[in-house]
């Protein structure tokens, strides 16, 4: 989240899939924007290249803690107490895996070093894997 709140319009102008350097790991990550491209262009059309995508009313960019508090307020309005800043990422990963069963690509998207870490992160356990294999048929 700390890398996202610091993004500026110019960070997204460089390529179809821009790259950022994660503060936490120092690794270069690709932002796969896909179908978000049009929404991002519409959202940023009136911004200068040096403007933050998520500006603070006090100047600069939103702080991670502020984003977390916003999530908590929305969660409370929804009557939920189990929604956090990583919920969207984990939910995306879970549904991506359920639809594609492509753990290797998901591992790359998340920047994880192993499939085991990715499966644990999205909540895929051995029982679910066994169930998937029971329902699998080769077609002959």
Q: Report pTM.
A: 0.72
In this prediction, residue 69 carries a pLDDT of 92
Q: What is the pLDDT of residues 9-47, one digit of tens each?
A: 999 887 788 888 888 888 888 888 888 888 999 999 999
pLDDT interval class at 87 (50, 70, 90): confident
Helical spans, DSSP H, in the chain: 2-5, 9-13, 37-44, 64-77, 87-100, 103-110, 115-122, 126-134
Q: What integer is the mean pLDDT of 129-140?
A: 74
With CA atoms as reference, report the closest residue to 70 among 50, 59, 56. Answer: 56
What distance in Å separates the CA atoms of residue 26 and residue 10, rounded to the nearest whole number?
20
Q: What is the pLDDT of residues 47-73, one digit of tens each?
A: 999 999 999 999 999 999 999 999 899
What distance in Å separates the CA atoms of residue 52 and residue 73, rounded to the nearest whole number?
23
Q: What integer is the mean pLDDT of 121-140?
A: 77
What distance in Å separates the CA atoms of residue 81 and residue 14, rounded to the nearest whole number?
38
In this prediction, residue 140 carries a pLDDT of 65
- Look at residue 25 and give its three-state secondary structure: coil
pLDDT interval class at 130 (50, 70, 90): confident
């Amino acid at each position: 989240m700390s890398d996202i709140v610091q993004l500026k319009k110019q960070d997204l102008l460089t390529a179809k899939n821009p790259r950022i350097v994660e503060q936490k790991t120092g690794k270069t990550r690709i932002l796969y924007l896909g179908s978000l491209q049009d929404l991002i262009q519409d959202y940023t059309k009136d911004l200068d290249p040096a403007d933050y995508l998520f500006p603070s009313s006090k100047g600069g960019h939103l702080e991670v803690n502020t984003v977390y508090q916003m999530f908590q307020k929305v969660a409370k309005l929804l009557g939920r107490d189990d929604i956090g800043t990583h919920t969207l990422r984990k939910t995306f990963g879970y549904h991506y895996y359920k639809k594609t069963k492509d753990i290797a690509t998901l591992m790359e998207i998340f920047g994880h070093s192993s499939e085991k870490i990715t499966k644990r992160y999205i909540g895929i356990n051995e029982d679910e894997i066994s169930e998937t294999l029971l329902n699998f048929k080769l077609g002959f």
